Structure 1
Amino acid sequence: MRRDELLDAAEQLLCDQGSDALTLAAVADRAGVSKGGLLYHFNTKEALIKGMAERLIDDFDQLMAEQGETTYTRRYLAATMAAIRSGRLRRWAVVTGASGNMFLLGPLREAMTRWHTSELENEPDPVAAQIVRLACEGLWDVASHDPGLYPDDELDALERRLISLL
């Protein structure tokens, strides 16, 4: 079984049953593999959570790379909106809710630092760029916990307003 399939099973388990249900045995069962098969890829629950967080980061970095915008902050905003509209942010709530241990979410903390400090010196207005990036964080949080809160027309209006700040 591939690593991503195991991570998918863990995320689905978290989504369906919550963080208390996340055990290696339950993930192996959900994925239809032996516990040994899971342990080959993730030898601890902590390694599994870290793997989910790292995959989320890679997913968002790829989404940013796909955006054709001119500045880092515009790519960040476009990727955030694409993630919200596609429902991909639901995974963030599920995975980050899996652990209160900041060590396990260290890769996410490092990514946030990178996302919020990269290329600020290249922005026409670095403070406005920081405001837009922080607004994206708020949208991530809200949309990951309540995906239907902002209908498309409201998301479009928010995106236009945030672009105007840049």
Structure 2
Amino acid sequence: MKRDELLDAAEGLLADHGVQALTLAAVAERAGVSKGGLLYHFKTKDALVAGMIDRLIADFDALVAAQDETCYTRAYVQATFVAVQSGRLRRWAVATGAAGDPALLVPLREAMARWHTHDLATEPDPVLSRIVRLACEGVWEAATQCPTIFDPGRPHQGDFPGLRERLLSLVH
């Protein structure tokens, strides 16, 4: 069993049944491995959650790097909307919701700080670039919330192409 398959099982369990259902035994059962097989990769539930968060960070870093853009902010915008439209951001809500210990979120806070400050000094308008990156964070937040009838202002999938293009038009 590969580490990513175990993380997928944990994320699926969280998405389907919530934080209270996340136990090592339940993850092992969902992944179809023994608890010992799971413990080989993740010694504790906190280690499992940390693994999910580390994977989120690596995944977004890879999305940014894969964009064919010379401007970091443009790559950041493109990566944000790839993540939003592919459903990858659902992982963010699931994994961060499982982090009962705030210390587990330190790597994510550090990554966010890095993403929000990376190469700002080299961009033509660093303040505007920062605003665009913060707007992307708002898109992340909107995309990971469960839609309700009481949330009419929440953007929907059909809104994302226009939002992406407008944000891209702000940075060169």
TM > 0.5: yes
2:156 aligned residue (144, 150, 158): 150
- Partner residue in 2 for 1:32: 32
Q: Does 1:114 align with 2:114?
A: yes
Read off the aligned partner of 1:22 and give its amino acid letter.
Answer: L
The offset of 1:164, in angstroms, is 2.4
Q: Distance in 2 between matches of 1:11 and 1:164?
A: 35
The offset of 1:155, in angstroms, is 1.4
Q: Distance in 2 between matches of 1:76 and 1:149?
A: 19
The offset of 1:163, in angstroms, is 1.8
- SS of residue matched to 1:103: helix
- SS of residue matched to 2:82: helix
**Runs of 5+ unmatched residues, structure 2:** 148-153
Read off the aligned partner of 1:164 and give its amino acid letter.
Answer: S
Read off the aligned partner of 1:89 and give its amino acid letter.
Answer: L
* Percent identity of equivalent pairs: 64
Contact 2:85-2:157 within 8 A present in 1 as well: no
Q: Does 1:126 align with 2:126?
A: yes
Q: Does 1:84 align with 2:84?
A: yes
- Partner residue in 1 for 2:15: 15
- Partner residue in 1 for 2:166: 161
Instruction: After superposing the two structures, state which structure 1 stretch, 4-13 or 154-163, moved more.
Output: 154-163
The offset of 1:99, in angstroms, is 1.6
Which residues of 2 match residues 59-78 of structure 1 at below 5 A? 59-78=59-78
Give TM-score, length-normalised by structure 2: 0.91
Read off the aligned partner of 1:119 and give its amino acid letter.
Answer: D
What is the root-mean-square deviation in Å for CA atoms of aligned residues?
Answer: 1.4
- Partner residue in 2 for 1:3: 3
Show structure 1 runs of 4+ deviating over 6 A. none
Give TM-score, length-normalised by structure 1: 0.94
The offset of 1:115, in angstroms, is 0.4
The offset of 1:146, in angstroms, is 4.0
1:103-139 Cα shifts (integer Å, max 9, x gaps) = 1111111110110111000111000000000000010
C-alpha change, 1:2 and 1:151, in structure 2 (3 Å) is closer
